[in-house]
Chains A and B, each alone.
Chain A
Amino acid sequence: MTGNLWKDANAALLSNYEVFQLLTDLKEQRKESGKNKHSSGQQNLNTITYETLKYISKTPCRHQSPEIVREFLTAMKSHKLTKAEKLQLLNHRPVTAVEIQLMVEESEERLTEEQIEALLHTVTSILPPGPEAEQQQSASDDVAMDEEDPA
């Protein structure tokens, strides 16, 4: 690795969604260009993009879009969280108060119970659930059919 210098070790934080888009586009490009995909030099790229895409596809970013992310960030302005905290919420889509406490530092001092509830509501109403949450949801939907939608 001699010779390369990194100019800015933390130039920008990327959301899982951005990485998902990037890797999906890269996959398409390489499919179209056809040649060289299996040459030994490209094997590492194949492996890491495949594994990373597999991991990311199971997370809530799977069904996100630029519009959803924009709407989320706008709604987040009133909650006074740091950039890193907003990123955690975006990537993980917490649905319980205990998850909020994990992602927001000193949450007991910064947020009241009502604020935590409001935050959860913003997160769950704007961000679509991830593929795993959907599986759980369809299981509990069978039971909850009779309940009226409170909204």
Chain B
Amino acid sequence: MFVLVEMVDTVRIPPWQFERKLNDSIAEELNKKLANKVVYNVGLCICLFDITKLEDAYVFPGDGASHTKVSLGFFDDILIPPESLQQPAKFDEAEQVWVWEYETEEGAHDLYMDIGEEVRFRVVDESFVDTSPTGPSSAEATSSSEELPKKAAPYTLMGSISEPGLGLLSWWTSS
């Protein structure tokens, strides 16, 4: 889940930081640039691990409602589409939660996926969306729409809980 990625970059240190140790300034700039940011096709960047080489410094750097959203705390753009829930699944309108209709010989058992419950999921796909700002488009100039375009998440994970052992932890631990 966590990987070490090697990168090459040019970092600009403002002149008034020159007196600090160069490595510290560079580390601070890199962390400022990357920490808690998504790097396209790589993932969510946590922090700088190490500086391996310094070269010469030169002065001049959804259907959203039907998807189930899951969070890790430090990252929460994780979606589980309805077809990846434990099947058969139905959405309980009254409770506004998804339910796993678990079949046993005695009949169907309704297992509710209550909000806030801890789940185990498998990552099945990831998608990167380039959210760098684009120039104004002339087509939009004519229509006056008050709705702001939805902000797309730069990095989204698709999850699945449709295997034995996945889903609410409480479904699988013996009490």
Q: Which residues of A contact B31 (CB under 8 A)?
A: 42, 44-45
**Cβ A102 vs Cβ B6 within 8 A:** no
Tell whether B164 is near chain A: CB-to-CB under 8 Å: yes
Interface centre among B36, B41, B42 (most CB of A within 10 A): B36
**Cβ A96 vs Cβ B172 within 8 A:** yes
Chain B residues touching A, range: 35 or more
Total number of A residues with any Cβ neighbor in B under 8 Å: 39
**Cβ B7 vs Cβ A7 within 8 A:** yes
Interface code A13-48, partner B: CB below 8 Å = 1, 0 otherwise? 111101100110010000000001000011011011
What does DSSP make chain A's interface, helix, strand, loop or mixed?
helix
**A45/B32 contact (C-beta < 8 A), A16-B2, A52-B46 known:** yes
**Cβ A26 vs Cβ B47 within 8 A:** yes
What does DSSP make chain B's interface, helix, strand, loop or mixed?
loop
The 6 closest A-B pairs by CB, nearest first: A51-B74, A48-B36, A45-B35, A4-B9, A44-B36, A98-B165
B residues near A (Cβ < 8 Å) are 1-10, 28, 31-32, 35-37, 39-42, 44-47, 49, 61, 72-74, 120, 122, 132, 163-166, 172-173
**Further contacts, 5 of them, CB under 8 A, given A44-B35, A45-B32:** A6-B5, A22-B49, A23-B46, A36-B28, A55-B73
